[in-house]
């Protein structure tokens, strides 16, 4: 949710909140200290504390406090790992579930002899939407974008921690290829739909305005290998194909609302049919999905946007289908081999199978941070300078 604030900015924010929200009583603690303490607490605790008083309720709902709370979560490793959660569903069943795996990884580090890991019990992600019909899932910070199995296509924004949800208005064009991310320049969440006519055109939904806009930006592409955009560096990425059957990564920058191109490895520039675009830590990556062969490697783009930086990474488990969950810590990455979870150590080229009780197979894997951000979000108020 934007860059970290400087110490002077945070001091100004605390003083502003104290002036706006301090009631006429005389609390036993200074209001600024109360604000600081509350900003470190978990979301569910804050939900209960909104009932303490009107000033507390107003504070916890204030966009500036929500931003401060989220920044503390993302900047502090201890807090980050306490509030990061894995979200998933199981094939053929569209209900959403979440689980906290960081404590599990800590236990694994203390028990090097473990061959298999058992995750904590999964929790059903609740909200006002019919979660049992979620067929595709996007995530950014503390919000999820859920695509439902309905026609016409229905899309919800959900905060899985607070249970808040909001249905998006119908897009001006038929939604085909979705993406979801945060524009740091405007403090705005954006949903992007890439649509094919004679050209590839883009429609953008802004949470600040609550409306869709069709952009003039267009590209000469005729089809896509990727329906689900990969978010990295404030940019959404799809693998697409030109009319002359050249394959390329199309990159849509959320800040400029402009699209560009990133080359694939040379051997896939004419046929990317079995490639799966993803993110390996902070880099774009390409894995594979094939019914005809197995692989023991995948590609990583070490320098963003530089076609010559594509590098193969070996993996000790031959696979016909592999995807990366986006969940990693130190040397461990959570991978999905044919819809089964594996915690892989790339430094030692070793792995542990990971099972979630009651879920032999998983799908739509992603991660999110517990946050106060509302799907009815209308941006953060301008900071004082």
Both structure tokens of 174: 């038929």
* pLDDT of 93: 72
Of 322, 277, 283, 315, the closest CA to residue 300 belongs to: 283
* pLDDT of 381: 39
Q: How far is CA 191 from the centre of its chain?
A: 12
Residue 39 CA to residue 33 CA, distance in Å, equals 10
* pLDDT of 383: 33
* pLDDT of 26: 46
Residue 178 CA to residue 144 CA, distance in Å, equals 13
Global pTM? 0.84
Both structure tokens of 155: 């899309």
Per-residue pLDDT tens digits for 209-238: 999 998 877 777 777 777 789 999 999 999
Specify the long-range contacts of residues 202-210, CB closer than 8 Å, at least 24 apart.
202/252, 202/257, 202/259, 203/171, 203/172, 203/173, 203/175, 204/257, 205/168, 205/169, 205/171, 207/157, 207/375, 207/377, 207/378, 207/379, 208/377, 208/378, 208/379, 210/169, 210/378
Give the SS3 label for residue 61. helix
Per-residue pLDDT tens digits for 16-55: 555 554 443 445 778 888 899 999 999 989 989 888 888 8
Residue 299 CA to residue 312 CA, distance in Å, equals 5
Residue 70 CA to residue 332 CA, distance in Å, equals 25
Residue 75 CA to residue 269 CA, distance in Å, equals 38
CB of 71 closer than 8 Å to CB of 1: yes
* pLDDT of 266: 84
Contacts of 336 (CB under 8 A, 6+ apart): 322, 323, 324, 325, 342, 362, 365
pLDDT digit string (tens) for the chain, length 385 residues: 555 555 556 556 655 555 554 443 445 778 888 899 999 999 989 989 888 888 889 999 998 999 899 999 888 888 888 888 888 887 777 678 888 887 777 666 555 545 688 888 888 886 556 655 777 889 898 899 988 876 667 888 999 898 888 889 988 777 778 999 999 898 899 999 888 877 788 899 999 899 999 887 777 777 777 778 999 999 999 988 877 778 889 999 999 999 989 999 888 776 767 788 999 989 999 988 877 888 899 999 999 999 999 999 999 988 888 888 888 887 789 999 888 899 898 888 888 888 888 888 888 888 889 999 988 865 543 333 2
Residues paired with residue 268 on neighbouring β-strands, in sequence order: none
* pLDDT of 12: 62
User: Residue 246 gets which letter from DSSP?
Assistant: -
Quick one: CA dihedral 110, 76, 138, 100, positive or negative? Answer: positive
* pLDDT of 112: 52
Residue 359 CA to residue 120 CA, distance in Å, equals 12
User: Residue 41 gets which letter from DSSP?
Assistant: S
Backbone angles phi, psi at 54, to 5 degrees: -65, -45
Both structure tokens of 324: 């990366």
* pLDDT of 311: 94
* pLDDT of 190: 95
Contacts of 292 (CB under 8 A, 6+ apart): none
* pLDDT of 195: 82
* pLDDT of 25: 44
Q: E strands of 5-130, at which residues?
A: 84-90, 93-99, 116-118, 123-124
**What are the structural domains, with CATH classification, of the chain?**
31-75 (no CATH), 77-112+119-274+359-369 (2.120.10)
* pLDDT of 128: 58
């Amino acid at each position: 949710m934007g860059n970290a604030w400087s110490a002077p900015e945070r001091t100004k924010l605390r003083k502003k909140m104290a002036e706006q929200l301090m009631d006429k009583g005389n609390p036993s603690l200074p209001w600024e200290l109360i604000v600081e303490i509350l900003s470190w607490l978990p979301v569910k605790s804050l939900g209960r504390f909104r009932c303490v008083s009107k000033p507390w309720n107003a504070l916890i709902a204030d966009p500036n406090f929500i931003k401060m709370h989220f920044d503390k979560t993302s900047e502090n490793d201890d807090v980050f790992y306490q509030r990061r959660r894995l979200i998933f569903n199981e094939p053929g069943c569209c209900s959403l579930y979440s689980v906290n795996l960081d404590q599990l990884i800590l236990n694994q580090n203390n028990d090097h002899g473990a061959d298999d890991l058992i995750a904590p019990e999964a929790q059903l992600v609740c909200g006002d939407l019919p979660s049992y019909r979620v067929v595709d899932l996007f995530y950014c910070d503390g919000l999820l974008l859920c695509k439902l199995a309905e026609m016409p296509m229905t899309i919800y924004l959900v905060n899985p921690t607070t249970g808040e949800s909001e249905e998006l208005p119908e897009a001006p064009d038929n939604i085909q290829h979705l993406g979801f991310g945060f524009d740091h320049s405007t403090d705005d969440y954006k949903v992007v739909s890439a649509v094919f006519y004679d050209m590839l055109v883009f429609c953008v939904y802004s949470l600040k305005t609550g409306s869709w806009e069709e952009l003039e930006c267009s590209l000469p592409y005729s089809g896509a290998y990727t329906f689900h955009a990969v978010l990295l560096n404030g940019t959404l990425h799809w693998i697409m194909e030109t009319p002359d059957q050249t394959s390329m990564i199309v990159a849509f920058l959320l800040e400029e609302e402009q699209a560009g191109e990133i080359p694939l490895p040379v051997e896939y520039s004419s046929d990317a049919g079995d490639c799966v675009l993803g993110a390996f830590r902070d880099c774009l990556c390409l894995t594979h999905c094939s019914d005809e062969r197995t692989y023991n490697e995948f590609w990583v783009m070490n320098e963003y946007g530089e076609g010559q930086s594509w590098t193969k990474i070996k993996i000790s488990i031959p696979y016909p289908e592999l995807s990366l969950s986006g969940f990693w810590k130190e040397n461990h990455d959570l991978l999905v081999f044919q819809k089964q979870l594996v915690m892989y150590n790339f430094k030692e080229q070793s792995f542990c199978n990971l099972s979630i009780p009651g879920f032999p197979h998983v799908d739509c894997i992603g991660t999110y941070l517990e946050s106060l951000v509302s799907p009815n979000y209308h941006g953060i108020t301008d900071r004082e300078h």
